[in-house]
Amino acid sequence: MRPGLLWRLMVIQFVLFRHGLDEIVLALRIFRPIRFLTYLSPWYWFSRNRQRSRGDRLVAALEDLGPIFVKFGQMLSTRRDLLPPDIAESLSALQDRVRPFSNEQAKQRIERSLKAPVDELFAQFSSAPLASASIAQVHAATLKNGDEVIVKITRPGISKRIRNDLEILYAIAGLAQRYWSEGPRLHPVEVVAEFDKTLMNELDLQREAANAAELKRQFDGSEMLYVPKVYWEMCRKDVLVQERIFGEPIAKTQRLRDAGVNMKVLAERGVEVFFTQVFVHNFFHADMHPGNIFVDIKNPDNPRYMAVDFGIVGSLMQEDQRYLAENFHAFFNRDYRRVAELHVESGWVPRDTRVEEFEAAIRTVCEPIFQKPLREISFGHFLLRLFQVARQFNMEVQPQLVLLQKTLLAIEGLGRELYPDLDLWQTAKPFIEQWMRERIGLKAMLKRMRTEWPYLNEHITALPRLTIQAMYSIEQQQTQLAEQQQKLDRLSQQTETQGRKNRYTLLGGLLLLAVLLLEGPQLTQIGFAGLSWLGWLLGIIAAGLLIAGLTRSQANPDS
């Protein structure tokens, strides 16, 4: 390990111990033999941190360690199967609390990337940032043509810092996977790899601009979601210029109510936006925390969401999307057996899982929450129960679904704040049923036929010739296999023949040696008469081998 990384690892250890987290570090199996060292730590006896819960202490430590650890804590808060309940609950409140970098640094980065002075690029540039987060900060500006925009700039030196911290996270995950009893099931290295990919995407602001453009195209003209325009000519890897939006922050629920916003419609549209992104476009905004969501209240009876910060987006593989949709569909219809079967078919639980037992466990968790308003349901508690069931049945973590779970938890939080009586099931069920009809039913089959018809029309005339060629190819392969089998049979016969020769040679040698020992007069004359007993023994062995060979020959006349 490089000296810089070793020093960083020592700093991490110091911060954890300073916040009274030695109990977490020393709880690992690899450190159990030296757990007594806890009582030698000065922080154990003199720190006031122990008066706080360990979840609060962990949050404080992550904030001290920097933005990468804060983000990793945020991601882990959605994986309640990885953490004890109290720690997961504390991490769910974790926010980016990062000091902004200076206005001079911001201008230097803009000018270096766009190759022009800030005064030439903008009619006005705000020195105070609108927001400051882990990866970048945002400034308000006005273009020469009067358009109001935001300018997003990545932090100086952030790429190197992220790389160093990720290397440490990989090392910690590797130790967990090797020494933690739950490691093989929870795939900590794969979870860190998913986090790595997400962070690298966030560092590239041109990629974020492309994500925003794609979402804007998908929701063009929509009454549910507005995505701000991207100014491509002013976008680089470390600078993004985008239309500035003016809406009420989604977290300001009292302002929304005071403005007469229809909260029921707003909450239902949040669910609709999520399921449309996941099951219609298969391209979803995966960082939907309250700081990134605003509401257009120009028409309070017809409110519209306005989204920002598109650095983290997600999509699912076709198989994962299908299994997820079928799981939702079976879940909404209380078909718990189908839910259990889908988990086995997808490989999310081992193939030898008893479906009946898994079905009963899922029913126990799911049945109590059905047809309840959102105010009476805690998805955090519900997911925790599901993860406990999953652990009993050795369900493996699916890293590709982490972003989706994180987004679903964010949607739950928004819905609970906006309209606690929202019936999530009835709002989401039509989207799943529509997806099933379009992807699995007769309509889906006809659509695929229409899509594939040009290809079929082009190649159908060649089908007879290809069929005949395939038949010839199969016949040739069968002939080749027969020839190879004959060669193997001949080789086997040669091996057996050589083996018989070797056995008979050994037999002859044993018999000759036996005769010499029994009849050799000169041996007995020089005092080795006792060797005759060895001759008799070798003769018996030779006879046994001869009888065994004859028996084998009669049992296998071909050999």
- Residue by residue, DSSP assigns 396-421 as PP-GGGHHHHHHHHHHHHHHHHH-TT
Which residues lie closer than 8 Å to 411 by C-beta, 6 or more apart? 270, 271, 274, 288
Which residues lie closer than 8 Å to 393 by C-beta, 6 or more apart? 349, 350, 353, 357, 358, 361
Catalytic residue among 287, 296, 309, 421: 287
Residue 127 half-sphere exposure toward CB, CA atoms < 13 A: 3
The answer to whether the CB of 176 falls within 8 A of the CB of 192 is no
Other beta carbons within 10 Å of 16: 21
The answer to whether the CB of 241 falls within 8 A of the CB of 231 is yes
Q: Is 238 a catalytic residue?
A: no
Buried b (16+ CB within 10 A) or exposed e, 295-305: bbbeebeebbb
* Rg, Å, the chain Cα set: 36
Separation CA 97–CA 184 (nearest Å): 33
Separation CA 256–CA 109 (nearest Å): 37
Which residues lie closer than 8 Å to 164 by C-beta, 6 or more apart? 4, 5, 8
- Go through the chain and tell me how many residues it has: 559
Q: Are strands 304-307 and 225-226 parallel, antiparallel or unpaired?
A: parallel
* 139: helix, strand or coil: strand
Q: Where are the beta strands (DSSP E) in 49-143?
A: 122-125, 131-132, 136-143
Separation CA 176–CA 168 (nearest Å): 12
DSSP state of 280: I
Q: What are phi and psi of 304, to 5 degrees?
A: -130, 140
Separation CA 280–CA 28 (nearest Å): 44
Amino acid letter at 161? R
Listed as own residue / partner, the contacts of 339-346 with beta carbons closer than 8 Å and 24 or more positions apart are 343/395, 346/319, 346/320
Separation CA 259–CA 253 (nearest Å): 10
The answer to whether the CB of 180 falls within 8 A of the CB of 397 is no
336-345 and 318-332 are packed helices; what angle lies between their axes, rounded to 10 degrees? 160
The encoded tokens of residue 296 equal 């257009």
Q: What is the H or E stretch that residue 520 is in?
A: none
Catalytic residues: 287
